[in-house]
Amino acid sequence: MTSTDGVPAGAGRHHSGTARHLLTLADLTAADLDRLVERGCAIAAEVRAGDPALAGILRGRVAGVYFTRTSTRTRTAFSSAALRLGAGLIAYGPGDLQLNTGETIEDTGRVLSGMLDVLVVRTAGPVAEMAALAAQRRMAVVNAMSAEEHPTQALADLTTLRARFGALPGLRVLYVGEGNNTATALSLALTRYPGTELHLRTPPGYGLPPATALKAKEYGAASGALLVERHDMAQLPQRVDAVYTTRWQTTGTTKPDPDWRAAFAPFQVNETLMDRYPDALFLHDLPAHRGEEVTAGVLDGPRSVAFEQAENKLYSAMAVLERAAGGDRW
């Protein structure tokens, strides 16, 4: 089938003629973001109820999963999501594609776009690499973590908060740790919701990238959300609904400063910090290093929703694939 503009109508194509990529949360309007979160919550209920309709949503579609870096949650979530929605699945490891022998990223994207409806990608490189894969109009490309941003993590995080609190507007979150790709995505997502507060406490020299902070503050100015970042643990907010941390050694990165641990030490989430907020939940994107960024007592304690958050990666991945691969609902 060929569309009126002469481009074969791949299933990932939106009616506007562009594929529904998710390279950064900045690709989404606030309404799109909220639809994905709400759909993730609805899919969680449908999976738990054993709704057979799910298996027909992407029947006849094919998803590719291309990860050049380690992953337990995200790769499994997207693979399981594709299979549960009825799509076929092709997995590529870091050594599989002719990218390794010099084929260009653009040519790779163009070739795969004739065969796949969606490609889910994790690399340690910049989003620009994924944008090169997305420089075609048939196959949707999903960022499953890049150097700068981990957008599908934020979708799972918001799905978790939405499921736990019933609504996202007005929520107050304290993020403690590196201003890494998870923090970037959380900042670009939470600030879309009116009345939210995101308080970041990041070690000196390991804060949010300035462009991220600027963009998130722009979102906050439009929505009525607040983003505050400090590089110490002073003047903590009086009340928060959730405390969030990530591991100190972000996947695929190293820290040139041999003394980086000294900078991070004051930023551990432990019982003393959690005792300030007796009603707050604890979130962690995992994997965790108990005794570093979080104590075992907090991670494994009754207020931790870290493993629920991990499970929600499946439901939010299903929502992302449904949107990206042309599910009728979108």
Q: How far is the CB of 192 from ligand CP (least distance, A)?
A: 21
Q: How far is the CB of 6 from ligand CP (least distance, A)?
A: 38
Q: Among 285, 288, 298, 320, which residue interacts with ligand CP (rule: CB under 6 A)?
A: 285
Q: Among 24, 68, 71, 113, which residue interacts with ligand CP (rule: CB under 6 A)?
A: 71
Give the whole-angstrom CA distance, residue 22 versus residue 114.
19
286 binds ligand CP (CB under 6 A): yes
Taking the mean position of all CA atoms in its chain, how far away is CA 216? 16
312 binds ligand CP (CB under 6 A): no
**Per-residue x/- mask for ligand CP, residues 133 to 152, rule CB under 6 A?**
------------x-------
72 binds ligand CP (CB under 6 A): yes
Give the whole-angstrom CA distance, residue 219 versus residue 13.
27
Segment 234 to 263, residues that bind ligand CP, using CB under 6 A: 251
124 binds ligand CP (CB under 6 A): no
Binding piece for ligand CP, criterion CB under 6 A, among 65-73, 107-115, 202-210, 224-232: 65-73
For 235, what's the count of Cα atoms within 13 Å in the CB-facing half-sphere? 7
**Tokens for 116?**
């796949």
Whose Cβ is closer to ligand CP: residue 20's or residue 73's? 73
74 binds ligand CP (CB under 6 A): yes
Q: Which residues contact 178 (CB under 8 A, 6 or more apart)?
A: 202, 203, 206, 246, 248, 250, 264
73 binds ligand CP (CB under 6 A): yes
153 binds ligand CP (CB under 6 A): yes
Whose Cβ is closer to ligand CP: residue 72's or residue 98's? 72
Q: How far is the CB of 145 from ligand CP (least distance, A)?
A: 6
Longest dimension (CA), the chain: 63
Are 110 and 139 in contact by the 8 Å Cβ rule? The answer is no
Q: How far is the CB of 163 from ligand CP (least distance, A)?
A: 17
Binding piece for ligand CP, criterion CB under 6 A, among 21-29, 207-215, 269-277, 282-290: 282-290
Sheet strands side by side (includes 197-201): 226-230, 197-201, 172-176, 242-245, 281-284
Closest CA to 152 of 199, 105, 178, 184: 184
Return the number of other C-beta atoms located less than 10 Å from residue 82's C-beta.
27
Q: How many residues bind ligand CP (CB under 6 A)?
A: 10
Whose Cβ is closer to ligand CP: residue 74's or residue 143's? 74
Whose Cβ is closer to ligand CP: residue 19's or residue 310's? 310
Q: Give the DSSP per-residue string, 257-302.
A: -TTHHHHHGGG-B-HHHHHT-TT-EEEE-S---BTTTB-HHHHTST
Binding residues for ligand CP, rule: CB under 6 A, are 71-74, 145, 153, 251, 285-287
